[in-house]
Amino acid sequence: MRPKDPTNFKYLNIVTEYCTQNLMNVIRYNSTTMNLDHIKYLTYEIMKGVHYIHSMGIIHRDLKPLNILVNDNWDIKISDFGQSNVKTDDINKDYNLTKYVTTKYYRAPELYLNYEANYTQAIDMWSIGCIIAELFNKKVFLRATKTEDYLEFLVEMLGLPSQNVRNAIRNKNFLKYMVDKEPFLKKAGLKELIPTATPEALDLMSKLLTYDPSERLTAK
């Protein structure tokens, strides 16, 4: 039923074809049947879906395997737009972009470290990087229960952020924690953290999992 006023309504329901499971269940229960071709296709499908969402000016803000539905042909549907927001190029508009978005295991560093600029659709791209890593590792990639664990993982994987990013970080306590911990942490690149990933997949993830959102690959 269409609302009487299309600019003023409380709920929006999206109806799609029936999907038998979500990507979290695929990873958890069907990982033995998921081969490299499946991972490539799922990655393509996710990027295609996010490209369309972003082309509409939408930031999903909660991309994770649980919110990606999968049918019997391995086609995907992106679901759960409860935290999504619409953003245009009007830099003077207040978008009410709250910082507490995205399930913590898929949350981009700018949300933790509170960069000065408003966050963008790039937070979705970080989430995709975590999802691809999970497809290869068959388990959550960035399973950090505490903020300190998350920050240490970032330093181990990416080193310390560039000076430009450091200057933009508002949470100086977190930045100080990272700098103080850095000499004592074991450095581990993506190849070591995701040993089953192909060189092409590692290259893709290296362009998604970056401190600087402006350097992050887009879904185009």
Give the tokens for residue 141: 């990639």
Q: What are phi and psi of 82, to 5 degrees?
A: -65, -25
Residue 126 to residue 130: CA distance in whole angstroms:
7
| Token pair of 184 as six digits | 């004592």
Task: Name the DSSP class of 169.
Answer: B
The answer to whether residues 132 and 205 touch, using CB atoms and an 8 Å cutoff, is: yes
Catalytic one of 62, 75, 89, 94: 62
How many Å apart are CA 167 and CA 141, to the nearest integer? 28
Give the Cα separation of 212 and 220 in Å (integer): 18
Cα–Cα distance measured from residue 153 to residue 38, given in angstroms and rounded to the nearest whole number? 28
Whether 80 is a known active-site residue: answer no
HEC string for 62-89: CCCHHHEEECCCCCEEECCCCCCEECCC
Q: Show which residues are catalytic.
A: 62
